[in-house]
Amino acid sequence: MKLILRILALAALMILADVSATQGTDLPDSAYITGVHGHPQKHSLSCESRSAADLAAFWGISLGENEFLGVLPRADNPELGFVGNPNDPWGYIPPHSYGVHAGPVADTLDEFGLQATALNHLSWDDLRGEINAGHPVIVWIIGQMWAGSPVEYQAPDGATSIVATYEHTMILTGYNMDTVQVLDAYSGQYQTYPLSTFLQSWSVLGNMAVFSSGDAPVNATPTTEGDRGNYTVQPGDYLIELANKFGTTWQVLAELNTIVYPYSIYPGQVLQLPPAPIVSDQPEATVVPPEQAPVEPVVRAKDFQVHLPLVVANQPINLVQEQTSLSSSASPAEFTGSTNIIYLSELNTSPTVDWSLFAQLRDLAMPVSITPGDPMLIK
């Protein structure tokens, strides 16, 4: 009897292997899910709770980040619960404050009524299959898709787990043959990365993810790249130019694609476009009163990667502003950090400047840290 059971189990494994081997050929080269909306995380180490809340919202479950964080179990092992204080600095591993892995996140989502499953050692085709099914996926990566080093950690109870510095989560929402599209829990914005970069970063923590399923909401179906209604951002594109090109406004594009201040777009990013307007023979001109005219956020797409700008400081940071307007006078602006953690994005006060340009101006390397008192040029 045992021999028969072993034969049946072996046959089942062979069938699964055959399905896995052919799965990649059955999936399209590109697919994107619309209707996933993001928000920036509220705490230094709450990326998992932010991703979980945004994923739940996609499935029609109203769930706050702090509400989810409050229900997450606490533990010394990230496989069992949240490790440490969510307000502590980011970038450490247990026993210091760290975060949580997929298992407790999936279990907590189940408690809120969402069918969720934590999985490890997944393949790229596994993720592609979920995206094509219309299911966004929470993935565990390192920082802003950085390479990292896995570390074996032993909890006080003797249990071991693989951890890594700068552990982070994003929601995978789309892909093509060369890139992936993700919703970053840190900024609440969509980002696009090379596929090879994503796969390397995702592998550090063992190809970990949370799958989910439910009643798909309206406008949450996957679309293939090139279908009507989508546009892939090219180097040099910016929102206003694209809005004029497609007969809409930059505000509509930003809202439709969950693009928030400072309204950055990136080469390779796939934008959903609104329906084409109906053009009459004699269109009426619309006059916008001067007081209602928006400031144009001319943020051009750049060929650079976005880095999580964590800055630790206790002293004021002096900003020397280089005037580019008609005024020739230049005055220094003071930014005083009242807490131990300051984000470089907080230094950005202009809708025409992306915080990541600050890092470029100073040739800052990952993880994009700056020193108290360091002058920064704003262009």
In a domain, residue 100? The reply is: yes
Tell whether 177 and 64 lie within a shared domain: yes
pTM: 0.59
Residue 86 has what pLDDT?
A: 95
Q: Is residue 139 part of a domain?
A: yes
Which residues are within 8 A (CB) of 124 and not within 5 positions of it... i.e. 6 or more apart?
Answer: 199
Is 94 contained in some domain? Answer: yes
Pick from 116, 275, 288, 86: nearest CA to 185: 86
- Where is the domain boundary, 170, 191, 213? 213
**How far apart (Å, rounded) are the C-alpha atoms in residues 59 and 343?**
31
- Is 198 inside any structural domain? yes
- List the CATH number of the domain containing 230: 3.10.350.10
Expressed as residue numbers, the domain containing 197 is 27-213
pLDDT at 186: 93
188/237 same-domain check: no
Q: What is the pLDDT of residues 309-319, one digit of tens each?
A: 333 333 333 33
- Does residue 263 share a domain with residue 143? no
Report the candidate in 103, 84, 48, 80 with the shortest Cα–Cα distance to residue 158: 80
Report whether 225 contacts 232 (CB < 8 A): yes
- Whether a cis peptide bond, with omega within 30° of 0, leads into 267 is no
Residue 20: count other Cβ atoms within 10 Å of its Cβ: 12
Show Cβ contacts of residue 180 under 8 Å, excluding neighbours closer than 6 positions.
Answer: 172, 174, 192, 193, 195, 198
pLDDT for the residue 257: 81
| pLDDT, averaged across the chain | 73
Q: Over 90: is that where the pLDDT of 139 sits? A: yes
Q: What would the pLDDT profile of 1-49 be if each residue is shown by its tens digit?
A: 444 444 444 444 443 444 343 344 588 989 999 889 899 999 999 999 9
Number of domains in the chain: 3
Task: Indicate whether 231 and 272 sit together in one domain.
Answer: yes
Shared-domain flag, residues 300 and 340: no
> pLDDT digits over 320-377, tens only?
333 333 233 333 333 333 333 334 444 444 333 445 555 655 565 555 555 555 554 4
Place of tokens 């450490």: 92
Phi, psi of 170, deg, nearest 5:
-140, 165
Is 159 among the domain residues? Answer: yes
